[in-house]
Amino acid sequence: MNKQDLLTNIHKSKKPYIIYKSKNGFDLYTNFSKKILLNQQNIYQFLNQKKKKFLKQTDLFLGFFGYEILNNLIGIKLRNQKKINFPKGIFYKPEKKISFSNNLKYRNNGMNKNNNIFKININRKSYSKIFDKFKKKIKSGETYQIKICTKYKTYSKIDPLDFFCRLSETNLAPEAFLIRDSNYSIISCSPENLITKKGSLISTKPIAGTVRKNKNMNKNKALEYFRKNIKETKEHNMIVDMERNDLSRICQVGSVKLSKAKIVEEYKDLFHYVTLINGRLKKNISNLDIIKAMMPGGSVIGCPKISTLNLLNNQEKENRNIYTGSFGYIKFNGDMRFNIIIRSILNYKDISEISVASGVVVDSNAKNEFNENYIKAKALIDLFK
């Protein structure tokens, strides 16, 4: 049996599985021997597990931290928000791993059922009011940059593997992943790495800056646009400074460096402004220390992190669920890789939810930021057509 047939068989068997983008293609993990639903009590036990040797490729836990539990971990409580009672985080222990090339093939033969009508939770008028409120907070010095989250929702019964394969064909992203379980799925083309830790070395790759692709905008012109655009430059510099500061809390003095500064990455509908930051961890830094220092990722929140999170959480009426949480793995030896969950579809109880956000700084324009949110959601919305 070839690997593509094997993928189809695993999918049709209804067994839970995870697909995660690797350097050379995709890794599929399945045959889960443990499933840990995170809560406020067991997250400390989970993150403080004693390190063991990494002997097999399945000696790890894969899964995600939701936005709420990451806030709670750093002492921030969310207001009484509208919730769908989706788990705060789930991690799996796989017993089987299969590697695939970048060319994933699968077709569902028309099994997706949806009405193609997305409802947005914040219309342009409401967005402008929130925008103006946060602009005043910026001018008063309570925050310097803040990300307004909007949600697109539709009723849908989807085939998550079909969605993921089509998304990978059109918008392959370095942090893409799929989780298919019995009662939910997450399909993601996340571009942003938050943590890569190997031994004592750690890196993060903040993305701050977006411009839409068109026939007149190539990679070189995008770089020129970012360099000349005051708003995009300010936004990028603030986020990079914050991520450097987050890393500095857990890294040796003087070890935090920019290894790639202000480069452009290309995606289906847009270009992003990106920087790579490296550091060397202090001795006796635990997994819990790392997660608390780095999450939630600053590039999708704003800065300074704590005061901005409080402003966001007092304003937002709906729980973010997975959005701006983190997906990835922790190996038995303590090495880890986590992304920021953006550009993702959460399908739960036959409702598909796409959340996006754009950054508000003192030079921002409400109309442009509202439109930028749609640009970010478009590649995912197109899958439902």
| Sequence-separated (6 or more) residues with CB below 8 Å from residue 62 | 18, 20, 29, 91, 92, 94, 328, 329
* pLDDT (average), residues 8-20: 93
Its sign, for the CA torsion 338, 339, 341, 346, is: negative
Q: Which pLDDT belongs to residue 208?
A: 82
Is it the case that residue 360 has pLDDT exceeding 90? no
70 Cα distance to chain centroid = 13
The mean per-residue pLDDT over the stretch 358-381 comes to 87
Q: Which of 38, 37, 43, 48 lies closest to 73, judged by CA? A: 43
Q: How far apart are CA 158 and CA 146, in angstroms?
A: 33
Q: What are phi and psi of 92, to 5 degrees?
A: -125, 145
Provide the pLDDT for residue 115.
Answer: 66
| pLDDT at res. 1 | 67
Better-scored residue on pLDDT, 373 or 58:
58
Domains and CATH numbers, the chain: 3-108+116-384 (3.60.120.10)
| 211, 238, 373 from 147: Cα distances, Å | 16, 13, 10
d(CA 325, CA 263): 24
Mean pLDDT, residues 52-77: 95
Angle at 270 between CA 208 and CA 185, to 5 degrees: 85
Mean of pLDDT over the chain = 91
The confidence score (pLDDT) of residue 153 equals 95
CA dist 137 and 130 (Å) reads 11
pLDDT per position as a tens digit, 131-179:
999 999 999 989 988 888 999 999 998 999 999 999 988 888 899 999 9
Is 84:39 a contact under the CB 8 Å cutoff? no
Given a cut of 90, whether residue 19 has pLDDT beyond it is yes
* More confident site: 229 or 97: 97
CB atoms within 10 A of CB 171: 20
- Give the per-residue pLDDT at 353: 96
Q: Dump pLDDT digits (tens) for 327-345.
A: 999 999 999 999 999 999 9
Which pLDDT belongs to residue 111? 63
Which pTM value belongs to this model? Answer: 0.92
Quick one: which of 129, 175, 208, 205 has its CA closest to 328? 175
The whole-number average pLDDT for the span 60-70 is 97
CB 183 within 8 A of CB 119: no
Decide if 91 contacts 291 (C-beta within 8 A).
Answer: no
278-289 per-position pLDDT tens digit: 999 999 999 999
pLDDT band at 301, cuts 50/70/90?
confident
* pLDDT tens for each residue of 189-213: 998 999 999 999 999 999 888 888 8
Whether pLDDT at 17 is above 70: yes
Task: Provide the pLDDT for residue 113.
Answer: 65
Write the pLDDT tens digit of every residue in 32-52.
Answer: 999 999 999 999 999 999 889
pLDDT in tens, 72-125: 999 998 888 888 999 999 999 999 999 998 888 887 766 666 667 899 999 999
- Please classify residue 76 by burial: count the beta carbons closer than 10 Å to its beta carbon, then call 0-12 exposed, 13-18 middle and 19+ buried: middle
